[in-house]
Amino acid sequence: MNTDLILQLYQAQVIEFGTFKLKTGVLSPFYLDLRVLVSHPQVLRAVAGEFARMLQPLKFDRLAAIPYAALPIGTAVALEMDRPLIYLRREVKTYGTGRPIEGEYHPGEVVVVLDDLIATGASKLEAISALTEARLIVRDIAVLIDREQGGVENLQRKGYRVHAPISLRGMIGALQDAGKLGAEQYRDVLEFLRGAEPR
């Protein structure tokens, strides 16, 4: 695990500790927000480098980013690897081209789905559905952080390969080792994760 990158992410406040209300209404002792990377070009470049190393061995024609957090990451990775990028629209417009996918692509091409992190995997399955509807082939999903909430296992059961260089447990372990996270906060996050694990 890339400890230097984890510390850069912490410095950029990608991960914060405290009490945060999630979309589900659940209270979490931490919050991950990779959208802030747009304000930290050096960290975004480091993230793109991490993705490039992860994607190098894979065979694919295009990258496919999921809005919104993965759009700047996808652009940075496309530039880093000199590979074409497409992205899904969150809302398909009723005017203009009305395309659900932006960018050039051809049916039968292999795309790697790119996102910032994975929790349950639901948004990845939605994206895969839209891409396969456009007759694109998806075998791999690449994210930076696995929140360890069953998403990797859900996608693997459906036959997809998931690539995630940073696990949440690994991240908080590295931060505790670096003196950025107290023992109590560390325990709180671990307890939260145990409660979030699929039964």
Query: What CATH number is attached to the domain comprising 192?
Result: 3.40.50.2020
Structural domain total, the chain:
1
Question: Which residues in the chain come in under a pLDDT of 50?
Answer: 96, 198-199
What is the phi/psi pair of residue 11, to 5°?
-60, -35
Domain enclosing residue 95, as ranges:
3-196
pLDDT at position 25, please?
A: 82
From residue 185, give the alpha-carbon distance in Å to each of 17, 28, 33, 73, 188. Answer: 8, 11, 18, 29, 5
* pTM (2 d.p.): 0.91
The maximal CA–CA distance of the chain, rounded, in angstroms, is: 54
**Cα–Cα nearest to 48, from 23, 84, 72:** 72
